[in-house]
A and B are shown apart, each in its own frame.
Chain A
């Protein structure tokens, strides 16, 4: 058991550090350091442009998508080297957020299921950030119940014709491509009639409408498809095998998300270290200390759980559903942390934005937090995954499992 770099790892770290030191956009470092959930903004620059420029620079020097094979724009690095890179990249890693879906989910799905020529065409510009990808799974009728989706794909010659609606698509408004899960056969049970494609988001008939979130911001979109044509060679996996293809994507999502979960704890600890309460420094207060200690051990527990997973990964073991705990723990924790930070501010905690304490850092966190417990699988889905796939408990009784899809009743929006 050790945390020491091997000579090879130490060399990699030194090379990475030197390159980052010489090339990172340092003018944004302070702002990126101060950003947290619900508030990653640059005052005098377009973050999308800054992020794309940084990604391109990394790609040109061979530092993009480290774990991808070289022929697809990666570096062929080991899982540990990827962690070392993340440690060294520090706050500039915030700029990778807009690429998480593409690099963490769409890319691996393309690698597993796309034709070789497509991989060579589409993956390198995805790695370099020149093209941004999104993932089109969730629908109004299929939130947690993804396999309940209704977007239709019908074969017409060598093309498929898509009609329907997706929702909660992160970054669709700036994405160039997307992977799309559709229903190709509504007469068979729901998991069996799905098929996966990738498509150009600029295709005629694709319409993106931003969702105004409860937080007031718009990170997500609705995407409408009206007679959108996708050539058959852009199909990923067999017709009717879309559910299995999507499981590959989701498994990668968990390992992608598990790596960098944000709990809000470092922000709260820093805040409490300087905050004065009526009776003295917050950090001296017994109740505050108890809360902090509880969140501290959750945060460190997640960090070391992820290190254990990386050690297992580097020995060739597959990332398992264990990684679901990262999002489950961090999601509700960041909500509690934000609530508590405002409690410490007393009545003035109600003020948000620039006039608030720390320019509204915890207020923004509070308002963004409910989404973290829903996106990428709700807390309840995560608990089901742990219960069923880790602990081996029975699956939920599914009344719709063997019923043809077009005979299943539906109501409400996910």
Chain B
């Protein structure tokens, strides 16, 4: 047993941290936060040049051919830096869907473009309120065209292509759902940006009107593929959340050491110390659950569904906990636009929802644990 990342993987993490500290300062994040750019194009280009976008994409499709463990350590740093780029949509969702279900031609078309930073991808799953479920997919697929509305679609306004979940039957079974690949630049879609909790990451509404689409994976296999994609993304997002938790905890710790009130560092008061200690506990539990998820993801283990749900829940809770208490430690200044605390608070709460809510994943975890026990 060796329950840790390898030295090479840790080196990659350091490299990513160094790169992001330089290229993705809070000041750079604020350009997107303030609405002056839809995402940080320079950073996106840099990530491609570093090989980070294609780290888990096989070499034959233009990637680095490393693996998911390497992607996990980069994800952690993306979360720590609060990077304002469509990394999760493109790399965890679109690329993973292609890797799982894409034809050779589809992979050849899109994966090299993802790795080189030329194509931004996303997953169009949700249609208003509700969590991932076949019954919530109403967008219709018939005769090679799609009709319906997806909302919210993460990074939908800047995406070049989307993996779209669509309905091709009404039997009430999972096989009613199929996946399609849509080139969003080819017409047949109307894209509207939506205001959202975390302006450093866009959300959009996409209306499909007789939009041409090619199947991704076999007809009727959509839900099964989606489940796998969401599990993988849950682990990868968990690493972003772990990175964000650590950063929020550090910010709180640093402020508690720096700020003097009542003639003492506020970090010398137990009320503050204990709050920070509890944040450390959450962040540690999340990290450990995420490591297990990383192991399951990288080995494609039978434990992945359960491990992914546990990582998702634990990391979501930790990031929300650390981000909100970071503001609390900062007091009034934490509630200003000027201080960076709210950027993590926004990201934490947006991330808690984008793959389905916490209560959805709680439900999934129990289902999966029962299944394991029954087996």
Q: Is the CB of A383 within 8 A of B4?
A: no
Q: Is the CB of B277 within 8 A of A297?
A: no
Q: Is the CB of A1 within 8 A of B284?
A: no
Q: Which of B224-271 contact A (CB under 8 A)?
A: 249, 253, 256-257, 264-265, 267-268, 270
- Please tell me which stretch of B33-41, B79-87, B287-295 contacts chain A, meaning at least 4 of its Cβ atoms lie within 8 angstroms of it: B287-295
Q: Is the CB of A307 within 8 A of B289?
A: no
B265 cross-chain contacts in A, Cβ below 8 A? 394
- Please tell me which stretch of A166-174, A180-188, A287-295, A404-412 contacts chain B, meaning at least 4 of its Cβ atoms lie within 8 angstroms of it: A287-295
B294 cross-chain contacts in A, Cβ below 8 A? 1
Q: Taking the complex as formed, is A21 at the interface, i.e. its CB lies under 8 A from any CB of chain B?
A: no
Q: Can you name the residue of chain A whose Cβ is closest to the Cβ of B256?
A: A393
Partner of B292, one of A273, A293, A304, A310: A304
CA distance A325 to B283 in the complex (A): 11
Q: Is the CB of A394 within 8 A of B277?
A: no
Q: Is the CB of B292 within 8 A of A329?
A: no
Q: Taking the complex as formed, is A239 at the interface, i.e. its CB lies under 8 A from any CB of chain B?
A: no
Q: Is the CB of A294 within 8 A of B292?
A: no
CA distance A5 to B267 in the complex (A): 44
Instruction: Tally the A-B contacts, defined by beta carbons under 8 Å.
Output: 153
Q: Is the CB of B4 within 8 A of A308?
A: yes
CA distance A384 to B299 in the complex (A): 39
| A2-B295, A308-B291, A393-B267 known; A290 vs B362 contact (CB < 8 Å) | yes
Partner of A328, one of B253, B270, B273, B281: B281
Interface size on A, residues (CB 8 A): 51
CA distance A277 to B273 in the complex (A): 41
Q: Is the CB of B277 within 8 A of A391?
A: yes
Q: Is the CB of B257 within 8 A of A308?
A: no
Interface size on B, residues (CB 8 A): 50
Q: Can you name the residue of chain B whose Cβ is closest to the Cβ of A304?
A: B288
CA distance A162 to B257 in the complex (A): 44
The 8 A CB mask of B353-375 against A (1 = contact, 0 = none) is: 00000010111011001100100
B159 cross-chain contacts in A, Cβ below 8 A? none
| A302-B285, A308-B3, A391-B253 known; A397 vs B268 contact (CB < 8 Å) | yes
B273 cross-chain contacts in A, Cβ below 8 A? 383-384, 387-388, 391, 393
Contact residues of B with A, CB < 8 Å? 1-6, 69, 249, 253, 256-257, 264-265, 267-268, 270, 272-274, 276-278, 280-281, 284-289, 291-292, 294-295, 298-299, 309-310, 313-314, 317, 359, 361-363, 365-366, 369-370, 373
Q: Which 5 pairs show the lowest CB-CB distances between chains A and B? A: A301-B285, A293-B362, A304-B288, A387-B273, A383-B277
Query: Could you name 28 residue pairs across A and B whose Cβ atoms are closer than 8 Å?
Result: A1-B6, A1-B291, A2-B1, A2-B2, A3-B1, A3-B3, A286-B363, A289-B362, A290-B359, A300-B292, A300-B310, A301-B288, A301-B310, A302-B285, A304-B289, A305-B287, A307-B3, A308-B291, A314-B2, A329-B285, A383-B270, A383-B273, A384-B273, A386-B280, A390-B280, A393-B276, A394-B264, A396-B268
